Structure 1
Amino acid sequence: MTHLLPTAESLTVEFKSDRKRLPDSDLVEALVCLANAEGGELWLGVEDDGTPTGLHMDHRNLAGLAGLVAARTSPSLRVQVDGVEANGLPVARITVPKAQSVVSTVGGVYLRRRLKQDGTPECTPMLPHERESRAASLGLVDVSAQPVAGATLADLDPLERERLRQAVQQYGGDRVLLELDDEALDGALGLTARQSDGARVPTLTGLLLVGRETSLHQLVPTHEFAFQVLAQQAVRFNEFRRFPLLKALDWLETNFRPYNPEDEIQVGLFRVPVPMVDMAAFREAVANALIHRDYHRLGAVHVRLEDDALAVSNPGGLVDGVTLANLLVTEPRPRNRALADAMKRVGVVERSGRGVDTIFRGMLKFGRPSPDYSRTDAHSVVVRLPTEPADLDFRRLVVEEERRRGAELPIDSLIALAAIRELKRVTAEELADRIQRDAASAKRTLEALTEAGLVQAHGNARGRSYTLSAAVYQAAGDKAGYTRQAGFTALQNEQLVLNYVRQHGRIRRAEVMELCRLSEGQAKDLIKKLKGRGALVQHGERRSAYYTASA
């Protein structure tokens, strides 16, 4: 079959010349290289510049190629081989999936594909720590549960254990932990692991939570974090530390508070604080970066206050299965499970594993934009929390509704209200993208807000859209705002129909439905209104009816 060749090599596309018969070992290594990255396609019989030169005679029979690859890789790599004609020459397209474990050749060669600084791809050897990092990102191993080579119980700090117990009380953690002695506490939280001889050895989780600072520096050299304050390109604060995690969180929060001014609003009899950055969102974002970073990679966790946002970044991309498109709805998949579980039991992070919801809530409830993860890539996770002024009317609306309910608004409802506030009018399909769910779920959220009196629905069926309700606009002192939004679509639809008639001479009811995204009944009402004003003239009856502009 013929097939359009890719224009150039990339992270997922590799070209291999076969004019001199590519050695089987080179072919297998190239496929291993792709599998240990994102998978992709290897085009055999194509030069590096994308010019097809054809397959060698020895490779014209492709039947055994998939078996050869499976036999020479460990674990066996399953590939799909297709014969393709390019510019009249036979070439082979070999499709290789992303490996769900670390793959090597049977000769023990580990390779991975990466992009160089100029954007071109290359295959490089996978060093032992890179193989461990890859396995951790796939959820195959948990480095945080493993003993740290060279560590002893003397590397654990009694003062940090006391800090841990105080944190359980402060954050409302698992109070059963407070009844345990040191050895039982270490076992319950996975701070130590027993060896075959019965001796206890600190795990990475143990060192990170209650380790001595000097021991962390020597035994966990990848652990480091920084707090930086940048104002108009000037550096006002810039310090790096290697504290154990509970002390690190205290230190970061203490240093951040002076840079986090707070206003207040009056809601009924109560005064509600309005900080520049919600402290629950700050704590969750920082804790997530420290817990879920890749401890195989050098590099610090950065907490950076910029002119327009608080940015938190950590080495190591999102774990396998988590993407920016499912961040809000995917099941928790921690890279360091033992460490994450320990921090949840202490109470530092959200115990349901839905810490991302806490970060979103901390932004949206103040009428600020959603957290921005767009700078995240394969090497680091970056979240930016915009620090623009809060919308005080929106904050008052959220507080009043949550007090009426006696509970927090669901995160999907907050996202919906924020979207309508921003866009003025949304449909279920538009909201579905924002809450990362299907249109039916989005519609249920919008209808629930409609029943609560916060949102007004307009239209039926496919053309149904939603605005903030008249009561919300009135409470915000913007009575004209509702009228503008509620009346805008009707006026717009009238103009769409009249413009269509001017351009095409006539219009049918079905065309009105398609043009304005209206139901049949809505289209009838619109046509009736335009006829009543003398703007349209009807010709024919029922299904054969069409309408023209009046003379």
Structure 2
Amino acid sequence: MTWAELLERLAQGQDERTLFLPPDLSPEELARYAAGLANHKGGTLFLGVGPDGKVLGASDIHPLQVTHALFELTQGLLLPYVEAVEGPGGRVLALHVPQSPAAIAVGAGRVPFWDGRRLTELRMGQALPEPDFTAQVLPAASLSDLDPVEVLRLRRILEERGSALAALPDLELLFALGLLERVEGEARPTVAGLLLAGTPLALRRLLPQAEVSYYFHEDEEGYTFREDLLRPIPALLERLRDLIQARNRVRYLTVGLFRLEVWDFDQEVYREALLNALVHRDWQSRDAIQVHHHRDRLEISNPGGFPPGITPENVLRHPPKRRNPRLAEALYRLGYVERAGSGVDKMYRLLLKYGKEPPEYRLYPEALTLVLYNPELDEGFVRELAEAQERFGAFSLDHLIAVGYLRRVEEATLAELSRALQLPEEASRKVLSRMERMGLVRREGGRYRLAQRDSLAERVLAFLETPRSRREVEALLGLRPRAALALLNRLLREGRAERVGRGAATRYRRR
């Protein structure tokens, strides 16, 4: 949000989705107002603004203070996206608060509610979860709204997977996938059925929000190409793949005997991102999914935020929550998604494997944007990472996250790495201790750094594939006895070598 956009919003005054607050509120008061917005329709809370829309400023308040306080005071149920807007009149914090499907309390039995004029309290009571919209049958939907060609496509997908469902007749197949329901004895398509096999006319008439708009940006001055897609999900994914791949560049790197393909945007990564947008979006919203393809990033935006309890700070570790179970189950049976919800893990792993940044989530009151970045390729780092995995075996996701984070920031504390790993500090310490033993990181003065590549140690380790004496190491490297012993002892401490035998028979070998 720009300063001009902020002033325009403030000039419109407060309403049921917009709230102005001064900067001197206590954390508890701020939490009550933010929860009051979430318990109604969600909206934007401007901190550092008087009731008349005058900017008072909030320069002493850090966005992280706000998110931490709200998270703690609402038992983890409220974590808005906080945006700092600065201009000639000072600094204002804009808290984008999503609508909550369940009542959020602040304090014992206190459920605040903002009605557009004042903050009131509701009686304590958990709101019922909304029914699965994708399992519903729309009143005007009929069997003729399904496209036989798309039903055949679903059958072909199941045949390729070797699924027993592929042998069923059409109607039985569609019932088994949850794409049909019987209503007064008549077979009629569910919303999931229309999304996976509906005709273009039926989608336009019944589910226009199923449209996905693709934009390609040659630069930051607007888009140079646009295509609006309204098709069933399998056909939609194929067309989006074609559009992205037509503008997707690839580099080839040779590592040992292998050749790596490094794309601007890995096909598996953006496929997972697109599926997440389709599976987790709010299908009752009339807004479309948007895909903005830039040279340096891919942005995928969908209506609806995270399910309650999930935030950008815990999305990697939080147990999966499905907003549209019927659609998710059908896509699982078709092999598009994993039931265990491992899509986020897969995106992280593939991005970090090629030296890219992890996905970034931007949360807004009624939407979520996932950003996949395409930084300049660091060939040396990708080669070193691949070679290290050849030596130690495939890295765990935790190792990849820590290595990627330290590469970006150079050094970090345990607390900082814990936030990057989305793990408690004790669990993070165990991950980092193992990485120290592997020689991947080193700790100095309470801060962690990537271990520099040590060509001398690498030569010794290669030599120690067969047990060797200290004198043999001295002769190989031309070192003095003390220097050779110091190097061998360091390799022993790092767990990269081990001592065999005793006394004059002592030998060293690589672990």
| TM tier relative to shorter chain | 0.5 to 0.7
C-alpha distance in structure 2 between counterparts of 1:193 and 1:295, whole Å: 19
In the alignment, structure 1 residue 378 sits paired with structure 2 residue 365: yes
The C-alpha deviation readout for 1:288-346, integer Å capped at 9, x for no partner, is 11222111112221111124211111112222222122111111112111111211221
SS of match in other structure, 2:427: helix
Gaps of 5+ in 1: 1-7, 16-30, 42-46, 51-97, 104-110, 115-120, 124-133, 477-551
Residue 183 to residue 312, structure 1, CA distance change in 2 (3 Å): same
Which residue of 1 is the match for residue 439 of structure 2? 453
Change (3 A) 1:368 1:472: farther
For 2:287, the equivalent position in structure 1 comes to 299
Q: CA deviation at 1:249?
A: 0.2
Checking the alignment, whether the CA contact within 8 Å between 2:297 and 2:373 is kept in structure 1 is: yes
Of 211, 229, 238, which residue of structure 1 is paired with 2:198? 211
1:465 alignment partner AA = R
Following TM superposition, by how much is the alpha carbon of 1:122 offset from its aligned partner in structure 2, in angstroms? 6.3
Partner deviation per Cα, 1:344-379 (whole Å, 9 max, x = no partner) = 2211124421212222223222212222223x2111
1:142-541 matches, within 5 Å, as 142-168=132-158, 172=161, 175-195=163-183, 197-232=184-219, 233=221, 235-374=223-362, 376-404=363-391, 407=394, 409-458=395-444, 463-471=445-453
Distance 1:425 1:441 in 2: 19
Shift of 1:39: 11
SS of residue in 2 equivalent to 1:426: strand
Letter in 1 for 2:440: L
Cα 1:473–1:255 shift into 2, 3 Å: farther
Unaligned segments of structure 2, at least 5 residues: 1-12, 22-34, 54-98, 105-111, 119-125, 459-511
Partner of 2:411, secondary structure, is coil
1:41-74 deviations in Å (ceiling 9; x for gaps): 9xxxxx9669xxxxxxxxxxxxxxxxxxxxxxxx
Change (3 A) 1:413 1:33: closer
- Amino-acid identity (%): 33
**Residue of structure 1 in register with 2:89 after alignment:** none
CA distance in 1, matches of 2:457, 2:193: 52
Could you tell me whether the CA contact under 8 Å between 1:101 and 1:140 is conserved in 2? no
Q: Which amino acid aligns with 1:468?
A: L
Change (3 A) 1:423 1:176: same
Shift of 1:276: 0.6
1:397–1:342 distance in 2 versus 1, CA, 3 Å? farther
- Correspondence for 2:94: none
User: Which whole-Å CA distance do the structure 1 matches of 2:155 and 2:176 have between them?
Assistant: 13
Deviation at 1:403, TM superposition (A): 4.5
Number of residue pairs matched by the alignment: 369
Letter of the 2:296 partner, please give it: D
2:130 aligned partner, one-letter code: L
TM-score under structure 2 normalisation?
0.64
Residues of 1 paired with 2:249 and 2:456: CA distance? 30
Query: Which one has the largest radius of gyration?
Result: 1
Q: Counterpart amino acid of 2:190? A: T
* Distance in 2 (alpha carbons) for counterparts of 1:122 and 1:164: 52
Distance in 2, matches of 1:49 and 1:440, equals: 48
Instruction: Give the letter for the 1:380 counterpart.
Output: A
| Matched ranges for 1:78-117 at <5 A | 101=102
8 A contact 1:142–1:337 mirrored in 2: yes
- Equivalent residue of 2:208, what SS? coil
What's the offset of the Cα at 1:209?
0.5
2:250 partner amino acid: E
Distance 1:394 1:162, change over 3 A: farther
User: Does 1:35 find its partner at 2:22?
Assistant: no
Q: Secondary structure at the match of 2:284?
A: coil
- Say whether the 8 Å CA contact 2:44–2:365 is kept in structure 1: no
TM-score by length of 1: 0.60
Where 1:288 maps in the other structure, the secondary structure is helix
Distance in 2, Cα, partners of 1:269 & 1:424 = 30
Describe the SS at the equivalent of 1:352.
coil
Displacement of 1:186 in angstroms is 1.4
